[in-house]
Amino acid sequence: MSEIAEEKRREDEHSILRLRRVHKKDNALLAKLGYKSEFKRAFSPVHTIGFAFSIMGVCASVSSTFFFSLITAGHVGMTFGWIIPCLFVICVVLSLAELASAMPTSAGLYYFSAKLSPPKYAPLISWITGWANVTGQIMLVCSIEFVNAQMITTGIAIGSDGKILLGPAETYGILLCILVSHAIMCSANSRVLARLSLITGFVNVATTISTAIALIVMSGSKRVSGKDAFTLLENHSGWNNNGWAFIMSFTSAMWVLTGYDAAAHISEEISFAEKAAPLAMISGVLGTEILGFFLLIGASFASFDIKRLVDTDLSMPMGQVYLDTFGKKGALAVWSLCIAVQWVNGVTQGVDASRVTFALARDNGLPGSRWWKQIHPKTKTPVYAVWLVMFLSAVIGVLVWSETALSSLAGATVVSLYSSYAIPIFLRITYGYKSFQPGYFRLGKWSRFIGSIAIMWAVFVGVVLLFPLDPNIKSAADMNYAVVIVLAVFVLSALSWITSAHKWFHGPVPNITMEEVDRVTGEAENEVPEREGDAYEKRSSLGEKIAF
């Protein structure tokens, strides 16, 4: 027995030493990128994949955005309206994964833009990318919380047999409560967040698969034919052109498939960051695309009366699908799991948004940066940045009084985020093509081809999602506010740059001295076994060339 205990003790010691060596390598690369390590590296590669997957919350996100496909194109919107955007999003995530592997820092996209652009314009391009990304991240937090609030009101309506239908005021109150809970949770240490996202990842997968199968099996004789489930188009959007209405159905997939850059933004909290971050981004997107398509196929088979679903009194039509298929108790069981997954989705997105806010503040890119870049000494998380994100989300949340609230939030989120995705990808395949040095994950000769498709898709969806689902706007409540939000942020950031920011914002600013870089690098090299030393030195040279 003692021999077994001794063997286990030795294995534990070996694991601890190996992890310490990995962390020193990660910190050395971060130092050469220009930053000192301030976070705990509590996310293992498995935790990181769980985090990336949780941030897109398949079963909850697909259920909440189901009405986009339902209204615009019916069955064909649920199937081909999902799979077509998925094919193009793969190009975007591959391009970003390559950048995240080469430069694993919480600064993420605006850092990539700064290091790949002409030095003269680096601060301006970094400023534009940073503001676009922060805006998109905060909008995504707000939209996730709004969706969760609507899911709760839908659950209450189902549970009360339609007797309790909560309005905008009650929905906003629920949204505020969710935001407070997430502010507390996102301020916790990284170890808690890592474990939470991993557990929820399993729940997410299990719920999605079981629900999809149950929708097909339990719909019974009401189930639509295979042909109709995949090809029947029903346009209830208000647009006369069915082709354009079908394109508008892409909104569902595009809102769900956002935020996957989160793995890049928590890279300073990840072990094996240059490997784990790109792996998590790609696997998270592919997993979400496959499972989301599976769930939508089930929903399409179970949607035997599109018009009835469009006219439902429930806040979310998918709740009606579950109610029709599973009955009251079954629908509430599935819906409760979706609410739980969506809540964790909000936690992971809150972490993502707070890390971007922290990083931009660390480079003095936000008003009050001295506050938002502070790391709490106990939790090792940017607590002030977390609460700032939640406060701004609460302000934006007043859109719940608009009938097109989710359309506006989804449109503004996708336009902002995909703009910030497109800029560094464009620079990667143009000015920075020859100077860019890839990390572990690389696209090689395919980088320009894949990057070009990614940029064209980002521009395309950026235009499409500014349009309303119904062109017959009769009042302010019917308007798609996405264009207003995007323009407001653009004007604000542009005026700020012109009036003052161009004088003091210089892009990513190293917060570590060369002496500290040499010390951290030396510690990492001393920890690396001789057989690994040469390979690690070759990889680490990337950071030195980029940062200094």
Percent of the chain topping pLDDT 70: 91
pLDDT exceeds cutoff 90 at 413: no
Comparing CA positions, the residue from 412, 395, 349 lying closest to residue 136 is 412
Do 472 and 240 touch, CB atoms closer than 8 A?
no
Q: What is the pLDDT of the chain when averaged over all its residues? A: 86
The pLDDT assigned to 79 comes to: 95
Grade residue 56 by pLDDT with cuts at 50, 70 and 90. confident
The pLDDT assigned to 10 comes to: 62
Do 345 and 323 touch, CB atoms closer than 8 A?
no
pLDDT exceeds cutoff 50 at 371: yes
Looking at residue 375, what DSSP letter applies?
A: -
Neighbours of 483 (CB within 10 A): 17
The pLDDT assigned to 222 comes to: 83
- The mean pLDDT value for 438-458 works out to 94
Grade residue 213 by pLDDT with cuts at 50, 70 and 90. very high
pLDDT exceeds cutoff 70 at 244: yes
Tokens of 129: 């990318």
The pLDDT assigned to 547 comes to: 36
Residues 262-316 pLDDT 10s: 889 999 999 888 999 999 999 999 999 999 999 999 999 999 989 999 988 888 8
How would you class 113 by CB atoms within 10 Å of its CB: exposed for 0-12, middle for 13-18, buried for 19 or more?
buried
382 φ/ψ angles, rounded to the nearest 5 degrees: -80, 80
Bigger pLDDT: 153 vs 487: 153
* Alpha carbon distance 201, 52 (integer Å): 9
Extents of the domains making up the chain: 38-508
The pLDDT assigned to 513 comes to: 80
- Residue 343: half-sphere exposure toward Cβ, Cα within 13 Å: 18
* Alpha carbon distance 119, 105 (integer Å): 20
Fold of 38-508: Amino acid/polyamine transporter I (1.20.1740)
